[in-house]
């Protein structure tokens, strides 16, 4: 019989090696998976992880895909560090996209430099308020924030569908479930001419710097760390655990809402029912792969975005199933959690005495 025991001394350097272990094991797993599928594993891995980096188009798409992942993961890391488990970032992202897009459509065809900032403000507020629902229920009634935030995701997706099929449907769109195309005042400027790479990536970089400062240099980061370590210690520091819950959901919801409006005003350019494409859930992997550190999250966001781009290319060139991206991401999370567990715990043998 065996059991897991927490190690008395944990090498801090090994904790930061966990993502590398997880990535290595995941690559080895998909290598053999490609062999079982009858595909050249070296060619498949080259197409997924190397080829997109060899062209301007691939790099531009990497920027587009990584931007929402980085922004959402930054907000999630804030709560995860505090021991607040917000699993509903996908719903907050959806609400932000819906609210910001509806704001732009409400002023159609009026244009002005003020329109994009206004849509950003509305989406941030909408995402934050949507995130406050599980926060209030957790603080007041001690409900499970994991279940509530997750279930609200499906409410948000259905609300988006109802609005796109109803009041926000394009009157000249031949009854297709989509809104009008946003005019130029409602579209983010591009940073690479001739590509879809937009200024949202620069916003993500700015947020990485801000979150790094808050979590490492500001007293707020200290209280977040204390909350994650011990709620009793937080009370002794003079802070309320409910305050941390509210703040965590506000920040995460606000950033997820911002990611939503960046997605619809960037590569999509309108509201469609298919906006939720799993970014909110993938961002959970990004947050943990980045060790809840803003700089690590930035790098992890680029890696996971690469799996989206390379996975699509591998589907077209090698005929791989469209689930290959999800398989890699799921395996990566599995190995990440396993490596993390064996870094903090050890396997001990249990002596069993049998009675005669």
pLDDT, tens only, 249-288 = 999 999 999 999 999 999 899 999 988 778 999 999 999 9
pLDDT at 17: 86
Model pLDDT for residues 144-180, shown as the tens digit of each residue: 999 999 999 999 999 999 999 999 999 888 888 999 9
Residue 322 has pLDDT above 90, yes or no: no
pLDDT at 346: 76
Q: What does the alpha-carbon distance between residue 308 and residue 286 come to, in Å, rounded to a whole number?
A: 13
Nearest alpha-carbon partner for 276 in 293, 263, 289 = 263
Pick the CATH number of 18-343 from 3.40.50, 1.10.3470, 1.10.10, 1.20.1070: 1.10.3470
Residue 300's pLDDT band, with cuts at 50, 70 and 90, is: very high
Q: In the numeric block, which tokens belong to residue 213?
A: 């400062």
The backbone torsions φ and ψ at residue 3, rounded to the nearest 5 degrees and listed phi first, read -150, 160
Whole-angstrom distance, CA of residue 54 vs CA of residue 38: 26
Please tell me the predicted confidence (pLDDT) of residue 275. 84
Mean pLDDT of 1-28: 81
At 354 the pLDDT is 58
What is the rounded distance in angstroms from the CA atom of residue 339 to the CA atom of residue 216?
25
Q: What is the pLDDT of residue 71?
A: 98
- 4 pairs with which residues across the strands? 347
Instruction: For 169-221, give the DSSP string.
Output: S-TTSTT-S--PPP-GGGSPPBSSTTSS-BTHHHHHHHHHHHHHHHHHTSHHH
Q: Say how far apart CA 30 and CA 331 lie, in whole Å.
A: 9
Residue 124 has a pLDDT of 98
Position 138 pLDDT exceeds 80: yes
């Amino acid at each position: 019989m065996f059991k897991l025991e927490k190690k008395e001394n944990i090498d801090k350097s090994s904790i930061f090696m966990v993502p590398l272990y997880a990535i290595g094991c995941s690559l080895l797993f998909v290598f053999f998976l490609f062999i079982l599928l009858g595909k050249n594993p070296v060619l498949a891995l080259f197409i997924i992880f190397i080829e997109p980096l060899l062209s301007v188009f691939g790099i531009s798409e990497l920027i587009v895909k990584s931007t929402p992942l980085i922004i959402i993961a930054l907000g999630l890391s804030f709560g995860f560090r505090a021991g607040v488990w917000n699993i509903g970032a996908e719903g907050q992202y959806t609400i932000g996209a819906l609210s910001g897009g509806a704001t732009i459509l409400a002023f159609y065809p009026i244009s002005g430099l003020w329109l994009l900032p206004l849509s950003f403000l509305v989406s941030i507020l909408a995402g934050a308020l949507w995130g406050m629902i599980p926060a209030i229920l957790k603080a007041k009634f001690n409900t499970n924030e994991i279940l509530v935030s997750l279930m609200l995701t499906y409410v948000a997706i259905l609300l988006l569908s109802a609005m796109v099929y109803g009041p926000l449907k394009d009157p000249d769109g031949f009854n297709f479930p989509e809104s009008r195309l946003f005019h130029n005042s409602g579209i983010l400027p591009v940073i690479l001419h001739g590509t879809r790479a937009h200024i949202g990536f620069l916003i993500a970089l700015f947020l990485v710097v801000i979150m790094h400062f808050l979590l490492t240099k500001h007293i707020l980061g200290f209280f977040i760390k204390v909350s994650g370590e011990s709620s009793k210690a937080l009370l002794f520091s003079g802070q309320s655990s409910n305050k941390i819950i509210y703040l965590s959901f506000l920040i995460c919801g606000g950033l997820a809402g911002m990611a939503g409006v960046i997605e619809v005003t960037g590569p999509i350019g309108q509201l469609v029912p298919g906006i939720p494409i799993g970014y909110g859930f993938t961002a959970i992997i990004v947050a943990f792969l980045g060790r809840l550190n803003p700089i690590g999250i930035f790098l992890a966001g680029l890696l996971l975005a690469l799996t989206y781009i390379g996975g699509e290319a591998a589907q077209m060139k090698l005929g791989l199933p469209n689930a290959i991206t999800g398989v890699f991401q799921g395996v990566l999370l599995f190995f990440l959690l396993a490596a993390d567990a064996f870094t903090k715990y050890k396997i001990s043998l249990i002596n069993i005495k049998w009675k005669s």
